Amino acid sequence: MGQDLWQQSPRVKEIFQAASDFTGIDVGELLFRGSEEDLRSTDRAQIAITTVNLAASAYLKERGVSCDGAAGHSLGEYAALFEAGVIGMEALFSLVKSRGEVMAEASNALHGEAGPAGMAAVLGLEYERVAELCRTRLPGVYVANHNSPTQIVLSGTAEGLAAAEAACKEAGAKRIIPLKVSGPFHSPLIEAAREAFARVISGYPFADPRCPVYSNVTGKVIASGEEARELCVRQIVSTVMWVEDERAILADGFERCIEVGPGKVLTGLWKSVGDAVKCHPAGTVEQVEELLGGSAP
């Protein structure tokens, strides 16, 4: 992951080195030769993904493409804040490292006899229906992501997610898919992580955004650096309101999005809102060159 970008761009090599320096982890070794177990650990995964996010963005800039606004899904919001000038590179990688560590610690404390707490995707039920089930029938289970009109992600204990699977199927869900994650992220179950991160983030400078950057917590443009700091803390235990972010981006007149970083998840999610915005994956050299060779600017 990211090796093709590293091979093509001196700037990407600088980003990899900065990530290693600011986190104390050899990011190149982790990304190019790390095991699946190494990369699945949330404290290391967050550093690895953020590095590739910045690497893809840097390669795009070298090819003449820059952004007029920024948004990110969950962890990706930190790369968006960097792109908008809210945080610098040292703060970015230091905060991402700390975020991963406190989330991992809080999640590990929730392991029970029935197994570890985690997350599951619910397909085919609307957000409002799933949220109602959580409020009325599923104590200890929370809506973690509003990813699309019919894709919701839940966080909960092992017992809670088992109950949620039965309740969601009864309500008409098409599928419930357990996710390969190491904790019940974006839920009050990891309140300890929110409290710990609030202490860490207070020591870093946050500037006002120089372009629109959208919050997962509110689904709106972040007005100031201090609001961005507060929302970073809240995001740890709050639902990722990605559909609301998409709607705000549409309302603000954007017509094209470029997904920088590994995978095509956001490109797929954008398809659920219709054709008003085209989203293009650009996390590899091949994808960037394909983007530039087509109709996209």
Ordered DSSP codes for 180-235:
--SS--SSGGGHHHHHHHHHHHTTS--PPPSS-EE-TTTSSB---HHHHHHHHHHH
Query: Does residue 228 sit in the same domain as residue 280?
Result: yes
Closest to 48 (Cα-Cα) out of 34, 29, 31 = 31
Query: Does residue 64 sit in the same domain as residue 195?
Result: yes
Q: How far is Cα 72 from Cα 91, in angstroms, rounded to an integer?
A: 17
Predicted structure pTM score = 0.93
In a domain, 242, yes or no: no
Count: domains in the chain: 2
Contact 119, 144 (CB under 8 A): yes
186 among known catalytic residues: yes
Q: How far apart are the first and last CA of the chain?
A: 25
Query: Does residue 68 sit in the same domain as residue 198?
Result: yes
- How many beta carbons lie within 10 A of that of residue 90, not counting itself? 12
Q: Which domain holds residue 286?
A: 3-108+188-237+252-293
In a domain, 243, yes or no: no
The one catalytic residue in 146, 186, 187, 238 is: 186
Query: Does residue 205 sit in the same domain as residue 289?
Result: yes
The domain that holds 150 is classified in CATH as 3.30.70.250
Query: Does residue 87 sit in the same domain as residue 125?
Result: no
224 among known catalytic residues: no
Q: What is the pLDDT along the chain (297 residues), one digit of tens a residue?
A: 889 999 999 999 999 999 999 999 999 999 999 888 777 777 888 999 999 999 999 999 999 999 999 999 999 999 999 999 999 999 999 999 999 999 999 999 987 766 789 999 999 999 999 999 999 999 999 999 999 998 999 999 999 999 999 999 999 999 999 998 889 999 999 999 999 999 999 999 999 999 999 999 999 999 999 999 999 999 999 999 999 999 999 999 999 999 998 989 999 999 988 778 889 999 999 999 999 985 443
The one catalytic residue in 74, 98, 148, 182 is: 74
